[in-house]
Structure 1
Amino acid sequence: MATSGLFLCFFLIIHLLGNLQLLSPPAVAREQFNWYSHLLSGNILIKIISYVLYLSIIAHAVYALIITRVNIKAQGSKYVYDKRGKVSSWNSRNMGVLGTIILIFLVIHFKDYWYIYKFGNLPLDVKGNKDLYSIVVSSFQQGWYVILYELSFIALGFHLLHGFFSAARTLGLYHRKYAAAIRVVGWIYSLAITLGFMLIPIFIYFNLNF
């Protein structure tokens, strides 16, 4: 669970850096983003990494279900003194809910972009690359889709925040000598990823609709 989660954390950095090209002026953004999309689909090394990514997502979801079932069984007998709400964060107690929201979002996300790019009949840009930029921009011009995207990444932010600390503990990295540093890194990472992804649809929506 920890290793698959940390790999996905690394992937989110790469994915965000690529998507930030959408903040460029439209003509530049179209060319750069379509080139980036073509690179991801045409490079053999990146294809191998993408297969690892798919397996990591599946493994992360499956392990989450297993852990949830184990936890449910373990809760068969109640504690005499149970005040977990006071000693644990809200997101740590609701990782299953947050994970479910993210999983639903991923299904929508893959259907709207990955599936269309791989199997749809997309037009080509002036450089001969599939014009995924037009699909992304079109989706982010719809208010309901922007709201869905924003809510999903708020859920991801809470999920990342707890998951980062939990993975550090699991891998033996959360030592009291540098626990404060890990917490700072975790907060910075979670906020940067969450706000970075949330900025993109808002920027496109307000710049192209008004």
Structure 2
Amino acid sequence: MAKSALLKSSLAKKYWMALTGLFLCLFLVGHLAGNLQLIFGDASAFNEYALFMTTNPAVKVLSYVTYISILFHAIDGIVLTIQNKKARPIGYAKNNAAANSSFSSRNMAVLGTLLLVFIVTHMVNFWAKMHFTQMPLQTIEVKMEGQKPLIVYKTVQEQYIPVEAVDRGQVELKGTKFYQFGTDLKVADGYKDLHKITIEFFKDPSYGIFYTIGYVLAMIVLGFHLSHGFASAFQSLGINNPRYNGVVKGIGYLFAYLVPALFAIIPLYIYFIK
């Protein structure tokens, strides 16, 4: 009975809100590191990352923890907002909210709702395709140069494979089967080409600019959400001391602006440069 009351209390909800929020901050860092390969890596590196994230057992467990955390964080935030509204059903006669709190703290529920909409659409466009659709496989162009087949990567890497293997009509490289078609080789290396799907999404001639703008706006919303949420999570957990509160807030603001900015750079780079 006591346990049930604890779980239903506002204090418990704030603890869980803080813990799930900080866990999702860690997820953002890992997700950003993988996505930055769209700028600094090649198709193979990004597709290997995508395959690892969808097949590794440990990562799968963390993925389910992440999904649950997102749902719990969202639901918990809605419940806390309703409870706070009920606690003060009649507004103060004089209430200068802008002077007493930041824009982010006053609008955390709205910001969180917008982020939840973004997450759902983002998962439909990428996560669902990766898991449930017949995606194209990553291909590597292989041309015959004299007696040696030359694998030509988009990143100007070169690697030769044995002529004897080509003579048998099949080449084994990195545990992947390569098949010969006529004088050249057409290679499908087994990776779902999420890299191609992502690039085509943001470079779509009709809607790419809208997808890009929408993504950037979502990252601005994320920045506002994090600017208040990061520091308030530590306060909710009782980690509140005048000696290092300033440091926590400083790290929170750096995290809130740097991480969303790096995420936002990716679609801008794809649309305008890549």
Shared fold (TM-score greater than 0.5)?
yes
Q: Which has the larger radius of gyration?
A: 2
The answer to whether structure 1 residue 9 and structure 2 residue 25 are counterparts is yes
Tell me the equivalent position of 2:258: 192
> For residues 242 and 196 of structure 2, what CA distance do their matches in structure 1 show?
49
1:5-84 alignment runs, 5 A limit = 5-24=21-40, 28-84=41-97
The amino acid across from 2:210 in the alignment is W
Aligned length: 205
Select the structure with the greater relative contact order (CA < 8 A; seq sep ≥ 6): 1
Of 76-85 and 102-111, deviating more is 76-85
Write the deviation string for residues 12-69 of structure 1: whole angstroms up to 9, x where unpaired: 0000000000003xxx521111000000011000000000000000100110110111
Tell me the equivalent position of 2:168: none
> For residues 70 and 16 of structure 1, what CA distance do their matches in structure 2 show?
34
> For residues 139 and 168 of structure 1, what CA distance do their matches in structure 2 show?
38
Tell me the equivalent position of 1:161: 227
Contact 1:165 1:174 in 2 (8 A): no
Tell me the equivalent position of 2:148: none
The amino acid across from 1:10 in the alignment is L
Q: Kindly, what percent of the aligned residue pairs are identical?
A: 40
Of 79-88 and 177-186, deviating more is 79-88
Find the residue that maps to 2:81 and give its secondary structure: helix
Regions of 4+ moved over 6 Å: none
1:94-173 alignment runs, 5 A limit = 94-126=107-139, 127-141=189-203, 142-173=208-239
Find the residue that maps to 1:59 and give its secondary structure: helix
> For residues 152 and 165 of structure 1, what CA distance do their matches in structure 2 show?
21
Greater strand fraction, Structure 1 or Structure 2: 2
The amino acid across from 1:73 in the alignment is K
Q: Please report the RMSD computed on the Cα atoms of aligned residues, expressed in angstroms.
A: 1.1
Tell me the equivalent position of 2:269: 203
Find the residue that maps to 1:129 and give its secondary structure: strand
Unaligned runs of 5+ in 1: none
> For residues 24 and 52 of structure 2, what CA distance do their matches in structure 1 show?
20
Q: Give 1:74 shift.
A: 1.9
Q: Give 1:84 shift.
A: 2.3
Relative to the length of structure 1, the TM-score reads 0.94
The amino acid across from 1:137 in the alignment is I
